[in-house]
Amino acid sequence: MRFSNRTLRNQPNSISIASENRTVALLNLSDSNPTHNSLQPKSAQESYDADPRGSLTARSQLAEFIAANQNRSVDTNNLHLLSSTSQGYSWLIKLLCDPGDAVLAPRPGYPLISDLAALECAEVLDYTMHWDGSWWIDTAQLETLAAENQERLKALIAINPNNPTGSYLAKDERTKIISICQKYHLALIADEVFFEYELNGCGQRLAGEDSVLTFALDGLSKNLGAPGAKLAWLQTSGPKEQVDEALERLDVIADSYLPMSQLITAQLPNLLAEIPSQQKRIGQRTRRNLQTLKEIVEFSRTGTISILSPEGGWSVLLRFPSFIDEENLVLELIEKHQITVQPGYFFDLLIDGFVSLSLLLEPKVFRHAANTLVMAIDEIVEANS
């Protein structure tokens, strides 16, 4: 595994070594931390001691939550706390890619990956997902891409379950992806923020995979259903020597951007405690709305609309005849019905004729809007028959 030249490993200088080897506490005449000098505000009484991975207390609380709710153990030393999974992507591309290097990412998939990579002067190479009654990854194409670009390819991104398709990695896909990472010396970046939201399927996490260097992204935003709860985490796993070096280099990045605020991590226990009930509440809503959509589509007048049934997450893709222009359909919904929806091309779907619907809306609101959407599509189909 080769890391980027952006994150050179820090070597302690002679002053640091001398300070650490002292058995008697030193008076630091250069200490500019107000909380070490009795000047902390009333709203933040705790002394602040920076840890690039985030507060050890908070990481321990998170590890205990994962053990209790996901039935897997996590070493607190292998966790980094950060403000968002987007920040996690940015850090990982810094860690792995020099300018001009590339990562593999699924298409369709999370649109921000390309933007985040571009900001780090890296490129995204798309590997394809296909639909034939269920979503599947073209692993042959994926390996060809890896083989043809191995000089500059540094990581493979897997979104599990994918957004917007809602598909978990199948067992054979998971095995093949890990095999490709091993063969071509790629790091595996696993985005699993929607993992707990099962709709009609289940999967196996990549988090904690130890056969290849793996970085798993997750966070409060999706787990808690609270976009304003900007606290995410990055778990590093894999062969020990690679993990140790990755963690050390990630510390350089994290320290440069300053660690997660203790004012935020202090709230973590209460936020974690809310997750199980929130996930249950969101799951009930998404499953109810998905069933509503199925009923509405079943009674479509033209019979030309279908649902690409998601296995997880909280979105669903609706398919209609490809002669209907996605953008024109959305503009018509806006102008005539005061409704908007995301067209499939926002997610780089390979063919036309899709919109992505959120399953989070209030049930009555969702039923009305979905009915309106289906009727609008039916009218266009009938007008062109």
208-260 confidence digits (pLDDT tens): 999 999 999 999 999 999 998 889 999 999 999 999 999 999 999 999 988 78
**Could you tell me the strand order of the sheet in which 187-191 lies?**
79-82, 232-237, 214-219, 187-191, 153-159, 102-107, 123-131, 135-137
Q: Quick one: pLDDT at residue 43? A: 62
249-294 confidence digits (pLDDT tens): 999 999 998 878 887 888 999 999 999 999 999 999 999 999 999 9
* CATH assignment, 49-275: 3.40.640.10
Q: How far apart are CA 208 and CA 74, in angstroms?
A: 8
pLDDT class for 17, splitting at 50, 70, 90? Answer: confident
CATH class, domain 276-384, is: alpha beta
193 contacts 218 by C-beta, under 8 angstroms: yes
Whole-model pTM: value is 0.92
Q: Quick one: pLDDT at residue 19? A: 79
What secondary structure, in 3-state letters, does the chain show? CCCCCCCCCCCCCHHHHHHHCCCCCCCCCCCCCHHHCCCCCHHHCCCCCCCCCCCHHHHHHHHHHHHHHHCCCCCHHHEEEECCHHHHHHHHHHHHCCCCCEEEEEECCCCHHHHHHHHCCCEEEEEEEEECCCEEECHHHHHHHHHHCCCCEEEEEEECCCCCCCCCCCHHHHHHHHHHHHHCCCEEEEECCCCCCECCCCCCCCCCCCCCCEEEEEEHHHHCCCCCCCCEEEEEECCHHHHHHHHHHHHHHHHHHCCCCHHHHCCHHHHHHHHHHHHHHHHHHHHHHHHHHHHHHHCCCCCCCEEECCCECCEEEEECCCCCCHHHHHHHHHHHHCCCCEEHHHHCCCCCCEEEEECCCCHHHHHHHHHHHHHHHHHHHHHCC
Roughly what angle, to the nearest 10 degrees, separates helices 240-257 and 85-96? Answer: 120
Identical fold, 49-275 and 276-384? no
Q: Quick one: pLDDT at residue 9? A: 65
Q: How far apart are CA 125 and CA 127, in angstroms?
A: 7
pLDDT over threshold 80, residue 346: yes
More confident residue, 258 or 101: 101
**What average pLDDT score do residues 69-76 get?**
95
**Could you tell me the strand order of the sheet in which 306-308 lies?**
306-308, 315-319, 354-358, 342-343
Q: How far apart are CA 196 and CA 276, in angstroms?
A: 10
pLDDT over threshold 80, residue 47: no
Q: Where are the domains of the chain?
A: 49-275, 276-384
pLDDT class for 167, splitting at 50, 70, 90? Answer: very high
Q: Quick one: pLDDT at residue 38? A: 76
pLDDT over threshold 70, residue 45: no
Across the chain, mean pLDDT equals 93
More confident residue, 92 or 351: 92
Q: Quick one: pLDDT at residue 313? A: 96
Q: How far apart are CA 342 and CA 357, in angstroms?
A: 7
Greatest pairwise CA separation for the chain in angstroms: 87
**What average pLDDT score do residues 89-108 get?**
97
104-122 confidence digits (pLDDT tens): 999 999 889 999 999 999 9
304-314 confidence digits (pLDDT tens): 999 999 999 99
Q: Quick one: pLDDT at residue 10? A: 66
**Residue 72 burial (CB count, 10 A):** 12
286 contacts 360 by C-beta, under 8 angstroms: yes
